[in-house]
Structure 1
């Protein structure tokens, strides 16, 4: 198996690949790939904004595994991921993953710790609604199904009942994440894999979710408090492990996160939490329209509204500045459109530091100012949240009365 080590948005590497492997890598759309014009038998491969690991099967050839390391420290990335699911995030002392240099081993270790902690008091049990065919009455008879399936016969019976069982959504998610981590391509330390296998044995009687099956829903309650960190991690594992598809004849199996989406989720959730005591309400990824006929949709990442409805502030999270050919300032044009449509004098673009400058632009003849903020991710979580809180205070001060 060929293994390619890359860094997120790093320089392109020239690697030895035959044409079949290069074309498979290109078709998988995980990285940028093109034949090296100066070195026959090699391809230039460059990572974009996805981080993690993926294996691409090459028809009739050797599989290619791509490992993409994020620019931010692994523990910091896990904090961003956790905060987007819960405002409490992951406490830094709980992560302790400085020894891991890749995302998959770090997440596997953290999941195993949290799942073991969740199951320490035994499997959680609860009521599950079940519909089945039975020879005895239990619960209630589904009359419509009884008539449709059995045409007036008395038995078997179509019934519905609530069953008190451990085979509930919470345990199904833990088992699915455990199974998925055990199947992912390499990279998980032997000690962690061994503990995952033991967890899988403890969950052996729980229904295994099929590939592509919709994940069961759960909600935080007093009863599942001890499960909640493990469940949020399970959802991260299953969401990141969704890179499993067949584009044409190429099979891809992997675990990847899109850093732009991770950054966007973190910024919008953290900003909403920072404004929680300032009144009004925040809309994330809500639809607005640029024109009066409502034909041109706009979806700003974050809009803060007053209690009575009017917008007070608009912001967009941009992990990396968009500079398509011919439109080097596309982000600024987009924010200008948001400000005009929402009738706001100021708009805010929030970048990861190092990907865009920190500046303010006063638009001619429009009385609109567009701010570009730079959020430093390579610092402790408390520092990142302090920068978000400072931005929230700014929004409060400049909000139109």
Structure 2
């Protein structure tokens, strides 16, 4: 079995659980540390704020990924239930021995003589049968069957009794489209990402075991990209425009239509100055220059195309890789003809820090010294002259 860059948990039909964790360090790797790293990256991918999820909650929960996801969902659902489920009015049409609501005259006139004492009425009933509650009920049932943790199972049983009046969703995509976003649904906002995760909407590969457990596989490269993009949003100036990913340029035109779309992971723009950044989940070896530091030639070709299309052939770009023992400092810059420069930078996932960020983020953030807002080609020429 080959998983490539996927990490997560696989539950086999026989009940065996395989946990695939990211290997970031060569000697210091531990199960607890890898689990904490994976949870942190998933939270960044779900766009959860620090107020909703704290670091302490990550460190104290030492369990497989699937159990952690289910426990987070149950905790958020418990909060929603305690604050109160949202109800909605539903129009019912039925035949009753008394008048309730509005009398349906057309149906009543067609009533046979032997049933004249029965009334066709329309009335509204205030029920918790809403799209959001139906999705939560379906996710809760899957968690209740899949969890192996006694505390999670006990909480799932209790919540299931509280939601006994809510039917399960029969059309998941349609109910997610109908999920409300008004202020009355604000307390549902924290539980939605976990519900989406359990119902297999966010990750491209997820398998649900009916009796054995919940299987989740995440593309590690996508988690790394989203984590770095979330870090950038927190550290650049408010006036900096961020596109993740950018998709406005193509490699060529064919019959006057763009073909082969170019999509760098991050495009930063402030005035006329742009920066192109791309993230790769690969290991580099800064001491192995003979093997080109383990860089892929196709990655540099890709950045070359990004630079010509998004930076007009002149400016600063960066390839960002995870920091490791063999790659702890930025590599010397790679110069392309025409004033285009590529920086290869390590991102420290333990400390959440981009090493050498001043090379590409100078002027885009208060943390690093500002540079004059000049054209990218002029700025690159100045930096080359100084170096």
Query: Per the shorter chain, which TM-score range?
Result: 0.5 to 0.7
In structure 1, which of residues 218, 224, 228 is the aligned counterpart of residue 185 of structure 2? 224
Cα distance, 1:345–1:95 mapped onto 2, change above 3 Å: same
Partner of 2:324: 354
Structure 1 partner of 2:245: 284
Any conservation in 2 of the 1:271–1:389 contact (CA below 8 Å)?
no
Secondary structure (helix, strand or coil) at the match of 2:190 reads helix
Checking the alignment, whether the CA contact within 8 Å between 2:11 and 2:214 is kept in structure 1 is: yes
Displacement after TM superposition at 1:108 (Å):
2.0
1:120 shift after superposition: 0.9
Instruction: Describe the shift of the 1:319–1:123 C-alpha distance in structure 2 as closer, same or farther (beyond 3 A).
Output: same
| Match in the other structure for 1:249 | none
Q: Does 1:196 align with 2:176?
A: no
Aligned counterpart in structure 1 of residue 301 of structure 2, from 310, 314, 333: 333
State the shift of 1:273 in Å: 4.4
The answer to whether the aligner puts 1:259 opposite 2:220 as a matched pair is yes
Change (3 A) 1:93 1:260: closer
By how many angstroms is 1:224 displaced? Answer: 2.5
Residues 245 and 174 of structure 1, relative CA distance in 2, 3 Å threshold: closer
Matches within 5 A, 1:125-140: 125-126=87-88
Q: Secondary structure at the match of 1:178?
A: helix
Give the C-alpha shift of residue 386 in structure 1.
Answer: 7.9
Provide the rounded CA distance (Å) in 2 between the counterparts of 1:388 and 1:205: 56
User: 2:132, 2:180 within 8 Å by CA — same for their partners in 1?
Assistant: no
Q: Structure 1 length normalisation: TM-score?
A: 0.65
1:113 to 75, 78, 85: 75
8 Å CA contact 2:274–2:315 kept in 1: the answer is: no
Tell me, yes or no, if the aligned pair for 1:352 and 1:376 is still in contact at 8 Å. yes
Q: CA deviation at 1:275?
A: 3.3
- Partner of 2:40 in structure 1? 79
Aligned-partner Cα distance in 2 for 1:67–1:364: 43
Q: Secondary structure at the match of 2:195?
A: helix
Normalised by the length of structure 2, the TM-score is 0.67
Q: Is the 8 A contact 1:353 1:374 kept in 2?
A: yes
Q: How many correspondences in the alignment?
A: 321
Give the one of 54, 70, 90 matched to 2:10: 54
Distance (whole Å) between structure 2 residues aligned to residue 65 and residue 96 of structure 1: 21
| Equivalent in the alignment of 1:302 | 266
Residues 54 and 66 in structure 1, CA contact (< 8 A), matched pair in contact too = yes
Contact 1:82 1:232 in 2 (8 A): no
TM-aligned CA deviation for residue 212 of structure 1: 6.7
Partner of 2:341: 369
> 8 Å contact 2:9–2:215 — kept in the other structure?
yes
- The structure-2 alpha-carbon separation of the partners of 1:245 and 1:107, relative to structure 1 and needing over 3 Å to count, comes to closer
Structure 1 unmatched runs, 5+: 1-30, 33-46, 140-153, 156-160, 247-251
CA contact (8 A) 1:87 1:269 kept: no
> 199, 203, 207: which one pairs with 1:244?
207
Paired with 2:86 and 2:355, the residues of 1 have a C-alpha distance of: 39
Give yes or no for contact 1:360–1:371 (8 Å, CA) kept in 2.
yes
**Contact in 2 for aligned 1:287/1:300 (Cα 8 Å):** no
Verify: 1:95 aligned to 2:57, yes or no: yes
- Separation in 2, partners of 1:400, 1:163: 65
Provide the secondary structure at the position in 2 that maps to 1:296. strand
Q: Any conservation in 2 of the 1:360–1:369 contact (CA below 8 Å)?
A: no
Alignment of 1:164-203 (within 5 A): 165-184=127-146, 188-203=148-163
Return the alpha-carbon distance in structure 2 between the equivalents of residues 214 and 356 of structure 1.
48
Q: Displacement, 1:285?
A: 4.7
Q: Deviations over 1:220-268 (max 9, x none)?
A: 443223222222222233336862389xxxxx97222222222222222
Q: CA deviation at 1:306?
A: 4.5
> Do the aligned partners of 1:56 and 1:64 also contact (CA within 8 Å) in 2?
yes
2:138 is paired with a residue whose SS is helix
RMSD: 4.3
What SS does structure 1 have at the residue aligned with 2:9? strand
State whether residues 284 and 302 of structure 1, in contact with CA within 8 Å, keep that contact through their aligned partners in structure 2: yes
